[in-house]
Amino acid sequence: MAKAHNSISTEKLQEIARDSRVWILKAITEANSGHPGGSLSLVEIITSFYFKWLKHDPKNPNWRERDRFVLSKGHGVPALYTAMALTGYFPVGELMNLRRLGSPLQGHPDRVRLPGIEASTGSLGQGLSVAQGMALGLRLDNIDSMVYCVMGDGEIQEGQVWEAALSIPMHKLDHLCAIIDWNKGQIDGQVKDVMNIEPIADKWRAFGWNVIEADGHSFDALDWAILAAKENAANKTGKPTMIVADTLKGKGVKFMEEGKNAWHGSAPSREQLEKAIHEIMTGERK
């Protein structure tokens, strides 16, 4: 049974993140379809949870006492699949079946097809409401577990998100922690140009949330933020936590970072994959 807050080192987490980026890009290239930019921006966030902080058991995905993890920005699911494979939910080689007809690794999470997926997502804006329902259910069942929900910054332009943002503090769901992958890009352009959501932190504070701002690519910063969220829940503050994670779309691959929204939903070619893997593995940025 996996335990939260294990003693894994930052160096080991960085190694896992490096390998995760390679698997994500291999899977998307093999499928010739997917969303590399927003998957790569998620890597440190998801690695932190699945390898250090999340209370879960890959051998028993329906363990009653587990923490719940909802990936509301479902198009970033290659990052989640990779973490699940590397922690033992299914063989790593299955990642190469991403988006294939009949595969449990669909282009968006499908809880019916893949044990360990908590919510079927992809229709943006719904995940936080689902997480709220889970948090209420855990309270009714007297289960002392956390609910985490990762959203995209473009996603929180959806009105349903703000209904949940109002409702969750009213119900004093301090065991719910939401995370915004603030990579600043969406399929139609920069978030600030499509529909500006800033100042993000101030808005969530105004709705009654315990807001933490963190570098979404720093394991030390994420450790501090997640631990603060768990302590907030343990202290029964009545406030849910929002972690605003500052990230970079396409993180780890220079031409994707610079291309920004061009890599929101485009698969790399075989040649681009080789270049990206070389950069990830060697650290050489040309």
**73-82, pLDDT tens digit by residue?**
999 999 999 9
> Is pLDDT above 60 for 139?
yes
Give the total number of structural domains in the chain. Answer: 1
Residue 6 resides in a domain: no
Residue range 226-242: average pLDDT? 98
Per 3-state DSSP, the chain is made up of helix, strand and coil in percentages (nearest 5) of: 50, 10, 40
For tokens 């140009």, the residue is 193
Burial of 229 (0-12, 13-18, 19+ CB in 10 A): buried
Q: What percent of the chain lies above the pLDDT cut of 90?
A: 95
Residue 1 resides in a domain: no
* Boundaries of domain holding 51: 11-282
Residue range 37-51: average pLDDT? 98
For 112, 170, 175, the CA distances from 136, given in Å and listed in that order, are 22, 12, 10
Local confidence band at 158 (pLDDT 50, 70, 90 cut-offs) = very high
Residue range 175-195: average pLDDT? 96
Strands 189-190 and 185-186: antiparallel
Comparing 48-52, 107-111, 235-239, 259-263, which segment has the lowest mean pLDDT? 259-263
**48-74, pLDDT tens digit by residue?**
999 999 999 999 999 999 999 999 999
User: Do 38 and 31 form a contact (C-beta atoms < 8 A)?
Assistant: no
* pTM of the complete model: 0.97
**Is the bond into 240 cis (omega within 30 degrees of 0)?**
no
pLDDT at 286: 75
**145-155, pLDDT tens digit by residue?**
999 999 999 99
CATH number at residue 211: 3.40.50.970
> Is pLDDT above 90 for 192?
yes
Say which amino acid occupies 68.
R
* Positive or negative: CA dihedral 203, 205, 206, 208: positive
Residue 224 resides in a domain: yes
pLDDT at 1: 42
Local confidence band at 4 (pLDDT 50, 70, 90 cut-offs) = low
Residue 2 resides in a domain: no
Residue 3 resides in a domain: no
> Is pLDDT above 60 for 37?
yes
Residue 26 resides in a domain: yes
Residue 249 resides in a domain: yes
Q: How far apart, in whole angstroms, are the C-alpha atoms of residue 75 and residue 82?
A: 14
